[in-house]
A and B are shown apart, each in its own frame.
Chain A
Amino acid sequence: MEQINFAILSFAHIHAWNYARVLKKLQHANLVAIYDDDFKRLKKASSTFKVEKAYKDYRKLLEREAIDAVIITSENARHAELALASAEAGKHILCEKPIATNLNDSDEMIRTAEKNDVKLQIAFVMRYHPATAEVKKLIEEDSIGNIISITATNHGKYPGEWFGDPILAGGGAIIDHTVHVADLIRWYTNDEVSQVYAEAGENIRPELKVEDNALILLKMKKGIIASIDPSWSRPDEWPFWGDVYLFVVGERGCIVVDAFSQHIQIASKENRKLTYSYYGTDPDEEMIKSFIQVITRDEEPLASGFDGRQALEIALAAYESIKRRKPVKLPLNL
């Protein structure tokens, strides 16, 4: 199998650090160059991953470096700028979720990738997690009959930094945490969302400029009901980062998933609190392996730019519903 040369564009998103670690580890991947607009972060990433080709200008990186693919892990609002330049430079793209902060950007990203014949994959990592991937298999095998309802939570802690910036992040907990499970709901049901209703409460952290909690109810076109809790409702003191919980009710059974429950409980004098240490599969690694295969075998990504766009639309509809105080029909007419 051929080697794929990668660049990581920005380490603003925390996931970039693990993606880089995975790239260093994988046999068929080379992390050739990195870019970051924050010099301190660039230096840190460059020394952590021993990547000498570290750029403060992504255009120069794209011009000069013989890379095949980029991973875009900038602030959400900058995904489009980086993706458009990468696509036009002929680089395949693995883009962090959410695909963008508005539908125009996402549509332009999809069009530009198609025009330049490069892959655009969205980092819907839960499609590669063994537990949530197993659910897809069980549903396809008709093990619980037709789906009636899906409940999902993607709770988390407040990620900090630019995630609290309404412009750079495009919102708060809703845009950050709705999309993963919204994508799973679309994937499991092979269906699209027809309606979104959402409420946001008073903030848990009143100092934040973005919402840190919300509750969302969905209706699917074929009559399935669903709910999503994307709240950053886990305090800093909580022993784990959060959860991905799914409860799929079918006509002949139900499936319950607590995707990150494979952990060891540990308390020590050193960290002075109880923590959960995860021993399950790293889905990031499975996702990047799959992306490499998509490139080498010229396949379609499991989670495409279109999937990214559809999940974003659900999150944006939740904001719209909160504003209008009523259910919002999809497709969105903004």
Chain B
Amino acid sequence: MSILGAGYMGRVHAESWTKLDCAEVIKVYSRNLSRAKSLAREIAAQPVNDIKEAILSGEVDVVDICLPTFLHKEVAVKALKAEKHLLLEKPIALTLNEAKEIINAAEKTSSKFMVAHCLRFFPEYAKIKQLLDSHSIGDVRVMRAYRIGTYPTWGSDNWFSNLSKSGGVLIDLMIHDFDFMRWLIGDEVERVYAQVNEKVAGHLRKGYHAMAILKFKGGAIAYAEGSWALPATHPFTMYFEVAGTKGLLTYSNRKGLTCKAYYEKEVQELSPTSKSGYDLEIEHFARCILMDLEPMIKPIDAYNALEIAIAAKKSAETNRPVQQPLRGD
């Protein structure tokens, strides 16, 4: 297989792929050869700077795209047309039209295609889903999600800061919770209202902090908040809460820390599990390829999650609740 993109997420995926006996990462592609080299060296793969070689090489069965979102469509379609199995980092794309093009290309091949909405594989979120499915708290009424931290400085050429390339927190970050909420309650969003920060200062741009209310068709409501606006001292924080007719559950990653190490100048806070959410995600996708199974995240799921995020962005721009489904882009 090939990993496309040698940034933060490419490295995370590479680590999980190398744990599998059934897979071998043979190529690491990056637009920046020295980045490709640095990751390739660690996992004994070949660094490549030529996207065609990374995708079309006869030795490659699987392509894992961890490139910035604005590059997804072109590369994903190329991989699917070449009949490669494709794992694509979320969000599927920046626009619904781009997403449709990718999905159309996927439908024309028999190869496996999944968008990496990793939260579904995180042990804590999988547990929430399991608790809900066992009817522990009855019918869902109110959900609440935070995904807040500092600005991601690791993007190549600082691409996250360009909202026409990343979409800001509503598209890039909060899409995790949008997807998870849809999956959790098995319901579609009816309308969305959202606000983004209006104030800007220093490195802080409009769209780095956002809050949204989702109203689901079945009558549940949800609050989601995402942030890249926090100081570097603020630990990355995820929170999820579900109030149902028979109970309430809450989760905070800040309360699930099982190992904390204090050094002279820094603190390390860990919550290790024998397999990480990324390990489980990549294992699942590998199993789908080997056993010819349908991946649990369907193309339409990735499309619908993006649709919620885009509706939220439109709402923030127009100051109106936006009805789903959206009509085109």
Interface hits, B219-260 → A, CB 8 Å: 219-223, 225, 227, 229-231, 234, 241, 243-248
In the assembled complex, the Cα of A146 lies from the Cα of B223 at a distance in Å of: 24
Is B321 among interface residues, defined by CB-CB distance under 8 A? yes
Is A254 among interface residues, defined by CB-CB distance under 8 A? yes
Give the dominant DSSP class at A's interface. loop
In the assembled complex, the Cα of A277 lies from the Cα of B40 at a distance in Å of: 55
Known contacts being A215-B142, A237-B247, is A229 close to B223, with CB within 8 Å? Answer: yes
Q: A222's closest neighbor in chain B, by CB? A: B199
Known contacts being A213-B141, A254-B234, is A225 close to B245, with CB within 8 Å? Answer: no
Question: A225's contact among B198, B231, B241, B244, by CB below 8 Å, is which?
Answer: B198
Report the minimum CB–CB distance from A153 to chain B (whole Å). Answer: 8
* Neighbouring A residues of B219 by C-beta, 8 Å: 201-202
In the assembled complex, the Cα of A326 lies from the Cα of B191 at a distance in Å of: 11
In the assembled complex, the Cα of A237 lies from the Cα of B231 at a distance in Å of: 37
* Neighbouring A residues of B246 by C-beta, 8 Å: 235
Question: A201's contact among B193, B195, B221, B248, by CB below 8 Å, is which?
Answer: B221
Is A203 among interface residues, defined by CB-CB distance under 8 A? yes
Q: B199's closest neighbor in chain A, by CB? A: A148
In the assembled complex, the Cα of A325 lies from the Cα of B193 at a distance in Å of: 10
Is A13 among interface residues, defined by CB-CB distance under 8 A? no
Interface hits, A114-163 → B, CB 8 Å: 145-146, 148-149, 151, 153
* Neighbouring B residues of A237 by C-beta, 8 Å: 247
Asked whether, in the complex, the Cβ of B243 is within 8 Å of the Cβ of A231, the reply is: yes
Question: A254's contact among B195, B220, B230, by CB below 8 Å, is which?
Answer: B230
Report the minimum CB–CB distance from B229 to chain A (whole Å). Answer: 6
* Neighbouring A residues of B194 by C-beta, 8 Å: 217
Is B215 among interface residues, defined by CB-CB distance under 8 A? yes
Known contacts being A206-B245, A251-B201, A327-B319, is A201 close to B209, with CB within 8 Å? Answer: no
In the assembled complex, the Cα of A227 lies from the Cα of B204 at a distance in Å of: 20
Is B320 among interface residues, defined by CB-CB distance under 8 A? yes
Give the dominant DSSP class at B's interface. strand
* Neighbouring B residues of A235 by C-beta, 8 Å: 246-248
* Neighbouring B residues of A202 by C-beta, 8 Å: 139, 141, 218-220
Is B211 among interface residues, defined by CB-CB distance under 8 A? yes
Asked whether, in the complex, the Cβ of B213 is within 8 Å of the Cβ of A215, the reply is: yes
Fill in one digit per residue for A200-211: 1 if any B CB lies within 8 Å of its CB, else 0. Answer: 111111100000
Asked whether, in the complex, the Cβ of A223 is within 8 Å of the Cβ of B247, the reply is: no
* Neighbouring A residues of B191 by C-beta, 8 Å: 325
Give 12 A-B pairs besides A148-B204, A151-B211, A229-B144 with Cβ atoms closer than 8 angstroms.
A149-B197, A151-B225, A202-B219, A213-B141, A217-B194, A217-B211, A225-B197, A225-B198, A227-B195, A229-B142, A237-B247, A326-B321
- 25 example contacts (A-B, Cβ-Cβ < 8 A) are as follows A148-B197, A148-B209, A149-B197, A149-B229, A201-B215, A202-B139, A204-B141, A204-B243, A204-B245, A215-B213, A215-B222, A217-B195, A223-B199, A227-B225, A229-B144, A231-B142, A233-B141, A233-B241, A233-B248, A235-B247, A237-B247, A249-B197, A249-B230, A253-B231, A326-B321
